[in-house]
Structure 1
Amino acid sequence: MVNSLMVSFLFAIVFADELGWMKWDAFDEIEQQFRTVTGDNCRSKPITDLIMPEDVLTQIPKYNELRTKVFYKNRTNLIHLHNLALNRAFYFSYIYQRLNTSDVFETMPDVHYLHFSVAADINANPIVNGSAMYFDQDCYYPNWMINYDFNRTLPLFAPRSWRWDDSFDMVNILREPTLTTTFVVDAGSGLNKNYTNHGYRMNPWYDFWLPDTHPVYDSTRKFTWSVNLKFSNSSGVFTHNTFEGFNFFGPNNPGTNDPIEKLPVRFTRPYFDCARSNKWVVSAVSPVADFMPRYSNWTHLRRPRFVGVVVMDTDFEHVDFNPCGISAGNPGPSYLAGIDRCKEHSKCKHLSGFGFRRGSYVCKCRDGYRYPTEIEHPYKGSNIEESTWTEYNEGFNCTPTERKY
């Protein structure tokens, strides 16, 4: 019995030593934060535990760099999220100002339209796992209040949807998520739902543009756009053969050297969407402009104002990160850079499609070195991350060649 316990004890020491060679790094810190916050305990967590460091998400698409900068394929999803948020912000800015008259206000997008719109954003885009439109305090004019004061607003209104796990729905006989079900709510209705208040905890998208209380900055934050459209009531038939021009205020059109504060789309830090989707998400945010007050006989008393924001979410665990060191293809600052385990005679190359997982790289031999003839190359990061100390120490090597560079 004693000998058996001694053998087990020695085996445990050797086993722990073989697998304990990987030191604690930045990925372990973020993964610990990622795993420890859940939908059951997020309400009791401090804000610092619900928001990740600012440089965890890197190589963020910027509006004024889309045509001049090379974005790698591991950022195409973020670019699509960026463009979708900007598209929705332009559309609602245009339609609200285009119908901002007393004779056609009833044709504006109503409550039901907005709920269907955020649901359609998710169903039409596999990478989008959340869509919302948050109106600022007393900035939403419901077009069905025809029996009330004409300029009456709702205190808060925010159609919000996210992709719902329907694995255990009664109609789902396969018990597998179909990814076609969305959960839609008004995030501003009910008790303790004032998302304009910092006590709401998880509203990092709000302070980008709201509340818009500084008219002196209108000329630098809001841009005048002009469109010419033909209108139609049936397919292929226009009501008029001429284009109708219309000018409206919308998101900013920044210059090449303008700072991030003047971009029309901003990305949040990864945060936990507590009490809603209960996931770690990254949001692209763009502002919606309208005239306030909306209906007035004295137009000089109105001004363009950001009345709300369009928010598009994607799951943080599906966003790639580059574990290789800081380089031309991986500009810093980057919290997760340099966590690869390539040896000194090999160099790291990033692989796309891994999301927030280890092993998203390969190790290639540097100039002047070659792979052993009996192994498969290049060395996969996923194999390195799963290796023991003996396997790592004796393998994944590159032998020098006679040719020097």
Structure 2
Amino acid sequence: MVIEKQNTMMFIVACAICLLALGVYGQYEWQPRDVFDEVRLQMDKVNKDNCLIQHVGDLYLPEDSVSHLPDIKDVNINPVFPNRTSLLHLHNMALSRAFFWSYILQSRFIRPAINDTYDPGMMYYFLSTVADVSTNPSINASAIYFAPNMSYSSSYRGFFNKTFPRFAPRTFRADDFNDPIHLERISTWNTFTVQDLGAIELNTSKDYTSDYYRINEWYKHWLPDYVIGRHDTKTTYQVEIRYANNTNETFTFHGPPGADEIPGPVKWTRPYFDCERSNRWLVAAVVPIADIYPRHTGFRHIEYPTYTAVSVVEMDYDRIDINQCPKGMGNNGPNKFMNTARCKKETTECEPIHGWGFRRGGYQCRCKPGFRLPFQVRKPYLGELVERATAEEYYNSFNCLKIGYVQRLPVQWEKAPQYIRDFYLEKYHEYKNSSSGPDALKPPKMNIHRVLDYILNMNKDNCKQYKPQDLVLSGGFDYGAEEYFQNEAKMALRLANFISAFLQVSDPKEMFSGKRVADKPLTEDQMIAETLSIVLGNSRIWSAGTYWERNKFTNRTYFAPYAYKTQLNTRKFFVEDVARLNKSDEIYSNKPWYQFLKQRWSTNFDSLEKYYMKIKIRFNETGETLRKYEHFPNFYRGAKLEHGHWTTPYYDCHGKVPMWKIKYAAPFFGWDSLKAKLEFK
């Protein structure tokens, strides 16, 4: 009896195991397991507790698990899907930062040779990466990783022409819901962990340049830079600079590969688990940073351009939309999640929608041509509802009905009789008595054809014959611009917030123990490079400027570097300090957009966002270990996107780049002379 019971129990357990193996992983039994379930299982299998013992292959997802990656060769040709604008911004931010660091590391050739380094200090690196993340909710982390012994610094006394063994400032967004400074216990997304990942013991698994550092695919994409054959292989960019004293200079620097080169300046990593760091699944855009190396040898012929670092900007994989629709013209692969949508292919077709992230249902099922929705249905079937349906709901719903009447175009077109034409012209009188030129913008009912003729035919020659008010498109012409140009506005906001952070956190008069010295004040070259990098990093931005209030920039009354380009896909750029224009109708401080922001932020700063930083810096110049950066304040106040100002579209007739433009301006702030309160800078 006992033996028979044991056999029976074994049989029951075996049957249960078989049933479990033959089951499905979907929400309901009618949903078979697919590649989405496989990727989700792999992601859930890895966490912060077991990532160290997982196989390195389990820390990466397949390369095609991120589809429709932005390609710089297509950005100005093909439209970017709405669900890829965040990835495009990731792409542009990495490119912009690489251009900045390439420029600023080589800008020493503009200045006279001294026994000191012109490179920014460590706090500049840290706060730069903080600004990358703080102004962009879709960006999770930002970092600069230097190759061994290729990073120079001005942060230590007697460190001229010496290098850090490793240097890698990195910022990632921390989950601050449990921080004691937030009594509401609500995650604010405004707390950032800042570390120097180069402050480690060398030849250990914590060395990001080592093969034992298992998630450093971003490093191996470009570094180490083994140059075979000629050493002058790095792409050069030319910048013509005009200073406030009307002196000119042409500076040529080496930077990332051009858009016309193969493989281009930006490489993408596979989605990976950021083990022992942010402990999330991330995707990174990687761009190389160029410099002339070695330095100060006295023999220029042995100093050659090389990639000394990489700019890495990372995004949370869970925030990236997936395309579950079948293969088609807009979805021709590689895409691991292709054809996982559950639209009924007989009567409906799949259309992806944006904003859903990594989860099922980011699509809608539209009726195919020749079919229509049932009368009780008003909108296409939402993918989330299809995915959540039971078997009965799915098989009895989500169909389209065949259209009984077929609409066809007439075989022979005939001109309408005059009385019919007169009837409709009386009904739509704006097409009968239409105005041309700027008068086409004034009627309450506009003739859109005449309006487009006026806008599209405007050029730098005929714009001078119109009044200034005729070159402004007031009204609703800027409808949707705040969303369409949001990525471009974020790049301006990023620079504004970086300046705010540096002015509020870094004190050039601060004294440290040992050899550590404080960062110097912001320099003219740094502001020129920051402004120029916005134009270099985003092909949709034609010009950018950084405008300082009177006597707020070091040793300058007015200072306003203005960078621009005159043609698309170029390697020649221009920078001009428009502070040299000192007439009352030319000076930038009298412009309406500048006056608007100055008056708005003259006294009250309560609505500014507060950003907290948990900074750990290296123990000494050789690294070895980290220590907490004990400094007050460990936060700064900066503007949000809605704190900026959008101008109405206008034609920049007398500007450097005459075309129809729209301007976004973001304010930045620093301490007053007593460090008692903030002020508009």
Q: If the length of structure 1 is used for normalisation, what is the TM-score?
A: 0.89
Runs of 4+ in 1 over 6 A off after TM superposition: none
**Distance in 2 separating the partners of 1:265 and 1:199:** 25
Report the alpha carbon displacement of residue 403 of structure 1 after superposing the two structures with TM.
3.9
Residue 59 (structure 1) aligns with: 68
Residue 327 (structure 1) aligns with: 328
| 3-state SS, counterpart of residue 126 of structure 2 | helix
Are 2:152 and 1:147 equivalent residues in the alignment?
no
Residue 114 (structure 1) aligns with: 125
Choose the corresponding residue for 2:386, options 384, 387, 395: 384
**Distance in 1 separating the partners of 2:61 and 2:230:** 31
Return 5+ residue gaps in structure 1 as ranges. 1-15, 232-237
Residue 12 (structure 1) aligns with: none
Are 2:82 and 1:69 equivalent residues in the alignment?
no
Report the alpha carbon displacement of residue 254 of structure 1 after superposing the two structures with TM.
3.8
**Distance in 1 separating the partners of 2:143 and 2:307:** 16
The higher-RCO structure (CA 8 Å, 6+ apart) is 1
Is the alpha carbon distance of 1:361 and 1:333 closer, same or farther for their aligned partners in structure 2, counting shifts above 3 Å? same
Q: If the length of structure 2 is used for normalisation, what is the TM-score?
A: 0.53
Is the alpha carbon distance of 1:144 and 1:370 closer, same or farther for their aligned partners in structure 2, counting shifts above 3 Å? closer
Report the alpha carbon displacement of residue 227 of structure 1 after superposing the two structures with TM.
0.8
Residue 304 (structure 1) aligns with: 305
CA contact (8 A) 1:122 1:162 kept: yes
**Distance in 2 separating the partners of 1:227 and 1:61:** 27
CA contact (8 A) 1:341 1:384 kept: yes
Report the alpha carbon displacement of residue 365 of structure 1 after superposing the two structures with TM.
1.5
**Distance in 2 separating the partners of 1:391 and 1:399:** 17
Residue 102 (structure 2) aligns with: 93
Choose the corresponding residue for 2:251, options 246, 254, 258: 246
**Distance in 1 separating the partners of 2:181 and 2:269:** 36
Are 2:28 and 1:19 equivalent residues in the alignment?
yes
Report the alpha carbon displacement of residue 102 of structure 1 after superposing the two structures with TM.
4.1
Q: How does 1:260-279 map to 2 (within 5 A)?
A: 262-279=263-280
Report the alpha carbon displacement of residue 250 of structure 1 after superposing the two structures with TM.
0.5
Residue 238 (structure 2) aligns with: 226
**Distance in 2 separating the partners of 1:369 and 1:65:** 35
Deviations 1:203-249 (A, max 9, x none): 111121100121536555x2111112245xxxxxx3x2223221110
**Distance in 1 separating the partners of 2:90 and 2:248:** 31
Residue 234 (structure 1) aligns with: none
Opposite residue 237 of structure 2, the aligned amino acid is W
**Distance in 2 separating the partners of 1:217 and 1:272:** 38
Residue 343 (structure 1) aligns with: 344
Report the alpha carbon displacement of residue 196 of structure 1 after superposing the two structures with TM.
0.8
Are 2:172 and 1:182 equivalent residues in the alignment?
no
Report the alpha carbon displacement of residue 401 of structure 1 after superposing the two structures with TM.
2.6
CA contact (8 A) 1:18 1:389 kept: no
Q: How does 1:311-322 map to 2 (within 5 A)?
A: 311-322=312-323
| 3-state SS, counterpart of residue 117 of structure 1 | helix
Choose the corresponding residue for 1:124, options 126, 132, 135: 135
CA contact (8 A) 2:232 2:305 kept: no
Are 2:37 and 1:28 equivalent residues in the alignment?
yes
| 3-state SS, counterpart of residue 341 of structure 2 | coil
Report the alpha carbon displacement of residue 189 of structure 1 after superposing the two structures with TM.
1.4
| 3-state SS, counterpart of residue 152 of structure 2 | coil
Residue 44 (structure 1) aligns with: 53
Opposite residue 41 of structure 1, the aligned amino acid is N
Deviations 1:37-91 (A, max 9, x none): 1111111111111111111111111122211122111111111111111111111
Is the alpha carbon distance of 1:297 and 1:67 closer, same or farther for their aligned partners in structure 2, counting shifts above 3 Å? same
**Distance in 2 separating the partners of 1:243 and 1:320:** 47
Range that drifts further, 240-249 or 345-354: 240-249
Opposite residue 311 of structure 2, the aligned amino acid is V
CA contact (8 A) 2:117 2:161 kept: no
CA RMSD of aligned residues (A): 1.9
Deviations 1:244-301 (A, max 9, x none): 221110011142xx54xx3111111111111111111111111111111122110101
CA contact (8 A) 1:59 1:331 kept: no
**Distance in 1 separating the partners of 2:198 and 2:232:** 30
**Distance in 1 separating the partners of 2:115 and 2:382:** 62
**Distance in 2 separating the partners of 1:312 and 1:106:** 27
Residue 282 (structure 2) aligns with: 281
Report the alpha carbon displacement of residue 399 of structure 1 after superposing the two structures with TM.
2.1
**Distance in 1 separating the partners of 2:86 and 2:27:** 38
Return 5+ residue gaps in structure 2 as ranges. 1-24, 408-681
**Distance in 1 separating the partners of 2:120 and 2:231:** 25
CA contact (8 A) 1:137 1:156 kept: yes
| 3-state SS, counterpart of residue 199 of structure 1 | coil
| 3-state SS, counterpart of residue 69 of structure 2 | coil
**Distance in 1 separating the partners of 2:100 and 2:27:** 58
Choose the corresponding residue for 1:201, options 214, 230, 241: 214
Opposite residue 112 of structure 1, the aligned amino acid is M
Are 2:339 and 1:356 equivalent residues in the alignment?
no
| 3-state SS, counterpart of residue 306 of structure 1 | strand
**Distance in 1 separating the partners of 2:384 and 2:123:** 47
**Distance in 1 separating the partners of 2:232 and 2:158:** 36
Residue 373 (structure 1) aligns with: 375
Report the alpha carbon displacement of residue 375 of structure 1 after superposing the two structures with TM.
2.9
Deviations 1:294-322 (A, max 9, x none): 22110101100100000001111111111
Choose the corresponding residue for 1:173, options 183, 203, 206: 183
CA contact (8 A) 1:106 1:144 kept: no
* Identity over aligned pairs, percent: 39
